[in-house]
């Protein structure tokens, strides 16, 4: 939802916004710019955006000191548990459960739901399959697949992903 909110421009009036295009109010740029410009109310924005209630991508401070970054590049929220972002390879590694009875279902659901915007499900399964050495049993991957098929059964209608599933079954 954050990305859709960021794309909102001032040329849109409030009535034309759908439920996902809610403004992000970080600070009041009009008041802060008014004080900085001697109270004349002008801003440095171009295109008549002086009265824009929306925040652009440039107005958001992404260098939040409350975020923690681990060596693999994964960014955690202030609680140290919630994942905010990270490189694809690191997130795919986190998708694989550590043991057959430990699976972060919230992360799996969120990742599988949102990842389809930038990678296909069969590519995810291919990366997961290649991350397991040939001599290692696939118990953890099968455990993940059981959750995946329960939450997103339509992913497995694709012949590409079924090729990976057949390979897993044959191993």
Same domain, 110 and 34: no
Whether residue 152 is predicted with pLDDT greater than 50 in this model: the reply is: yes
**Is 79 part of a structural domain of the chain?**
no
Q: Where are the alpha helices (DSSP H) in 7-138?
A: 29-36, 88-95, 105-115, 121-131
Same domain, 101 and 148: yes
**Is 80 part of a structural domain of the chain?**
no
Banded pLDDT at 10 (limits 50, 70, 90): very low
How confident is the prediction for the chain on average, in pLDDT? Answer: 72
Same domain, 51 and 91: no
Same domain, 50 and 101: no
Same domain, 152 and 93: yes
In terms of pTM, does the model score above 0.95? Answer: no
Q: What percent of the chain has pLDDT over 70?
A: 60
Cα–Cα distance for residue pair 110/105, rounded to 1 Å: 8
Three-state secondary structure of 8-38: CCCCCCHHHCCCCCCCCCCCCHHHHHHHHCC
Buried b (16+ CB within 10 A) or exposed e, 7-26: ebeeeeeeeeeeeebeeeee
Number of separate domains in the chain: 2
pLDDT at position 38 is 52
Model confidence over 84-101: pLDDT tens digits?
888 999 999 889 887 666
Domain CATH code at residue 142 = 1.20.870.10
**Is 15 part of a structural domain of the chain?**
yes
Same domain, 91 and 20: no
Give the pair of three-digit tokens for residue 21.
Answer: 């295009």
Same domain, 57 and 91: no
Banded pLDDT at 51 (limits 50, 70, 90): low
Of 44-58, 118-132, 151-165, which gets the smallest average pLDDT?
Answer: 44-58
**Is 66 part of a structural domain of the chain?**
no
User: With contact defined as beta carbons under 8 Å apart, do 70 and 76 qualify?
Assistant: yes
Domain holding 106, by residue range, is 85-170
**Is 123 part of a structural domain of the chain?**
yes
């Amino acid at each position: 939802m954050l990305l859709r909110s960021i794309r909102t421009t001032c040329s849109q009036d409030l009535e034309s916004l759908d439920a996902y295009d809610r403004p992000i109010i970080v600070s009041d740029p009009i008041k802060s710019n008014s004080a900085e410009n001697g109270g004349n109310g002008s801003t440095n924005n171009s295109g008549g955006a002086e009265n824009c209630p929306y925040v652009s991508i440039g107005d958001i401070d992404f260098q939040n000191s409350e975020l923690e970054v681990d060596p693999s590049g994964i960014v955690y929220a202030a609680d140290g548990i919630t994942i905010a972002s990270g490189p694809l390879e690191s997130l795919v590694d986190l998708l694989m459960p550590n043991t057959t009875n430990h699976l972060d279902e919230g992360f799996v659901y969120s990742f599988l739901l949102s990842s389809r915007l930038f990678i296909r499900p069969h590519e995810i399964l291919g990366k997961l399959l290649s991350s397991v050495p040939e001599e290692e049993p696939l118990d953890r991957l099968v455990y993940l697949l059981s959750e995946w098929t329960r939450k997103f059964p339509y992913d497995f209608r694709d012949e590409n992903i079924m090729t990976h599933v057949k390979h897993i079954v044959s191993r």
